[in-house]
Structure 1
């Protein structure tokens, strides 16, 4: 029969080109990926066989077999797992159908490190293509369990692949790699055995190696999480993490435990040391694998973990859930809710211990996953108190991120709130004119740059009786803050003469462009700034809502002016000489200046340029 010819999806072609030209030093990762895929295929068949016993037939012993054929330069990885149909071969090996593929390819294209490129490939679950690092042709022959037809998918990784009918007497998948010239180590049984033993010792399936007439098992074939912690080396934990997470980094922390009591379950959970590329993808899927009595059930039990712990990797193996439970009924099972609560408690407890005993190590974790934990502060009221204790923030007075307890411990006498300022970048926030008065008084302000900050603060409201207060909203109540002990109590500078008349003119001139004009208590160096009125949306939150089309137009703001600034004083003096076009232009220029300082686009750039040109011309 004539072979069907198919072109690779554009993303796959780009991916194959990256893999083919990768100079990644440890090419053995391809073997890890293929063994891991074979193990997953067997896990899925075991789960389906719980309700479809005929799928196992007369071949109930699941295994992975690796065969070396030196004369033909072939390395074959075979399993007797679930297998793939004609359409599944095309869908799984010819396209990337997962959501987030555009973001994945964008990060892959811009990443310069070859090692990180391969890491991304593994994270996205397309590690199959790593086979092209060592082979110039790959043939995949597969027969799905329960089907009577088999198919062969074949490609040289050059833009297209073929699918043809095949002869295969049993279910499962065989991946035959035609090894490239110069990659002879993958035809050496001793080398392959060493690599397979390293990558497959934790897999709960026998992995066999065939070379000519010799055959041997190269792993213990016992689920790693069932062994005693004292029997497991750090290297074995790391390799299992690599297998379960398709990751290349070392885990930041490992939690291996057995919960006993009203419900019994085992957990082997890893906190990664680096951020997955799709951490903030809208799908927000958690990725713990659920087993029941060592039988794989699912790798996406959405109720096993909250979204704000989706970065965790690993497994949970329950002794109490029914073995034939379906994925559809997991959500309604009360045991899942109890396991979820136990997992959250254990993870938060471990994070708390590390935060207290190893603060520098903890800060590395917070820099990587802090923004995700903040989602929990907003979403999970039951665990909010524990999460707030774990939270760390950059601030105006500390180079290292601080806890809320540390912030409260050094609040100034007379300070009655926890001050914050939100924006997109730390550097821009540090330059904000809104902070001038706070710095002069020595009042610490938390610098917030995560989008979720705007939402959790509204949900929380206060911490230990101290309300959260935005430095860009309402009047700055700094008058009650007392100077540090021994510091000179400076008297406020007198306001410019005629300032009240200037404010009246500005209100009349700017009209609806602003909500009000008033003297500022927060400015010391800048001439003006925009603030949100008490009760209005914070400036940064409004910006976020407009960016996401949740708000059509911006709200008018309060324009605060610095009554001691030389330019404001000059304008106040000019008012007494009579309002004119120059003063009107000055009012709008001050408003536009305040917008620019906040990184806001000008509503009328042409008018701004005209007014500025007129002012420069008068000055010259």
Structure 2
């Protein structure tokens, strides 16, 4: 053990975080106590888990608890636990540097807007750093269970860019944090105030939270001093739902998810039968900043308990990736305490529990999506987690239909970016005789909304889904139909919107005969354009999609869309390539001009420009932008005489 006292600098990201905490716009500063008690509870959980393999870590003290004491004269509050504690290296790693905490991801997500960043602080789960909301100095004393008493560690900082760390003698394992309150917050060092805060925010903590009994002296543990437990000290998730208030559910969520804000909704169930387990799942009120970040370290997904003993954080085997936004607790009476992550991945009990967990979450979302006031909450959920839930169509074959009913999309029905329309609502609005659900995919909502492929659909009043999330390409490739209706891209294959005439006798055959007809005056034009474009296209044909644009590109039957081709290439994945068909609008003046164009060079320039313009209208870019611009300039000069 090092015997030296050191003054160290915080990493830049931590300094920035501390500055944000000190100048936090939170008006409710008392939540610092909730955060520190939550951390103490986690430390005791980890001790119990580690002691499953090594009982010596208890050091003869199995009376696990958290103590909150105070000294009004000294303006201090101390939160102490007899949990796992920390070594010197762990103190430096967990507090002085970004280490595995995800602090860098948090800092990168900051916008500079105080109000928005304050909300983000809550998502990050500031934990220990929250002490600086009310403190001008914070002192931490700790010793990891199993280490010698001489290997205690003292850490102290004013939150101004540096901290002091030194070895101390600490007979008892665990951690105690002493907060030296600012003048403005000195009133917090009062017994009734602290009891109120503990009961308000931390009543659900499953370990006793002790405070000096009312009427006792303030700080210190003099011999004979009496302490009383001020919380219920029982696992909330095993209590009957009828005995738990909404406020208790909400505060427990903030503990288990390390979030400052209330959850959007939750589901609590007790399963008894062949297997016995409890589940309490929450949907956060907003999207966590690190939803798609795979950094190592502490995560706040599903906590696994066995017979009320904490086993692990982020027990991902109980929840598929498309439900990774769910937070909560699973507690099994059937699993053994000594479990490895690998064993859990293949365990039949876990598989049965996972099936039930998925069902409970989907039930919860379906209830949220029903008509009424709750449906407003569902839209809030969808705005935060819609693209994540869409992954379920790809990942979960067994529940694909249930997930599909929960999907929401933007459509040409209202031309707004908000994704509010369900597939069921689309089907209800389908025209007589329409048997397909039409959609267009693009990189942005604007590109989807303004796609030339929609021109004839708008003219005929046929609704089209406007898909612009990257995952939508995979959703449509795995969701072949909904409620008996095939999903059809408006940009793949030939198009036939004459479904309104097919009920008339004989019309279907007549339309089939006319389907491949090309006006005689355009046959020569099409042949010349094929020659001019060569291998860049697999075909040129007259379009049934266009009413105002001169040309567009479509994928052949069974081909990939231009949007999917771009996505795959951008991600460095293999793409079979976009082999387009160039479709022409025979009524457009440019096409009419080309029909009579005799200059081969000019004809070639017009053809190439039309092709590149069609790429641009799809949200892509020409293979050779410089040449495209030169051609455009030349043609404009020619038109100007």
Q: How far did residue 300 of structure 1 move?
A: 1.9
CA distance in 2, matches of 1:482, 1:14: 67
2:134 counterpart of 1:134: yes
Paired position in structure 1 for 2:333: 319
Paired position in structure 2 for 1:456: 475
Compared CA separation, residues 147 and 20, structure 1 to 2 (3 A): same
**Secondary structure at 2:352 match in 1:** helix
Query: In 1, are the aligned partners of 2:94 and 2:101 still within 8 Å (CA)?
Result: no
Paired position in structure 2 for 1:591: 611
Q: How far did residue 292 of structure 1 move?
A: 1.4
CA distance in 2, matches of 1:167, 1:484: 90
Paired position in structure 2 for 1:154: 156
Paired position in structure 1 for 2:380: 364
Paired position in structure 1 for 2:97: 95
**Secondary structure at 2:498 match in 1:** coil
**Secondary structure at 2:582 match in 1:** strand
Paired position in structure 2 for 1:191: 193
2:318 counterpart of 1:304: yes
Query: In 2, are the aligned partners of 1:441 and 1:483 still within 8 Å (CA)?
Result: no
Query: In 2, are the aligned partners of 1:5 and 1:162 still within 8 Å (CA)?
Result: yes
CA distance in 1, matches of 2:45, 2:104: 29
Q: Deviations over 1:294-336 (max 9, x none)?
A: 1111112221111111111111111222234344432232111
CA distance in 1, matches of 2:397, 2:518: 47
Q: Deviations over 1:438-473 (max 9, x none)?
A: 222222211112222211322232233332211111
Q: Cα RMSD (Å) of the superposition?
A: 2.5
Query: In 2, are the aligned partners of 1:378 and 1:455 still within 8 Å (CA)?
Result: yes
Which blocks of at least 5 consecutive residues in structure 2 are unaligned? 213-217, 220-224, 505-510
Paired position in structure 2 for 1:466: 485
Compared CA separation, residues 215 and 101, structure 1 to 2 (3 A): closer
Which residues of 2 match residues 143-542 of structure 1 at below 5 A?
A: 143-148=143-148, 149-210=151-212, 211-212=218-219, 215-282=227-294, 287-358=301-372, 359-398=375-414, 401-482=420-501, 498-542=521-565
Query: In 1, are the aligned partners of 2:442 and 2:619 still within 8 Å (CA)?
Result: no
CA distance in 1, matches of 2:395, 2:232: 43
Query: In 1, are the aligned partners of 2:410 and 2:466 still within 8 Å (CA)?
Result: yes
Q: How far did residue 165 of structure 1 move?
A: 0.4
Paired position in structure 2 for 1:488: none
Paired position in structure 2 for 1:64: 66
Q: How far did residue 553 of structure 1 move?
A: 9.3
**Residues matched between the structures, number:** 609
Compared CA separation, residues 445 and 84, structure 1 to 2 (3 A): same
2:124 counterpart of 1:112: no
CA distance in 2, matches of 1:369, 1:244: 19
Q: How far did residue 357 of structure 1 move?
A: 4.1
Q: TM-score when scaled to structure 2?
A: 0.89
Deviates more, 1:152-161 or 1:276-285: 276-285
**Secondary structure at 1:518 match in 2:** strand
Q: TM-score when scaled to structure 1?
A: 0.92
| 2:82 alignment partner, one of 80, 86, 110 | 80
| 1:29 alignment partner, one of 20, 23, 31 | 31
Q: How far did residue 215 of structure 1 move?
A: 4.0
Paired position in structure 1 for 2:508: none
Which residues of 2 match residues 8-23 of structure 1 at below 5 A?
A: 8-23=10-25
Deviates more, 1:404-413 or 1:8-17: 404-413
**Secondary structure at 1:242 match in 2:** helix
CA distance in 2, matches of 1:454, 1:331: 30
Compared CA separation, residues 436 and 563, structure 1 to 2 (3 A): same
Q: How far did residue 125 of structure 1 move?
A: 4.2
Deviates more, 1:161-170 or 1:181-190: 181-190
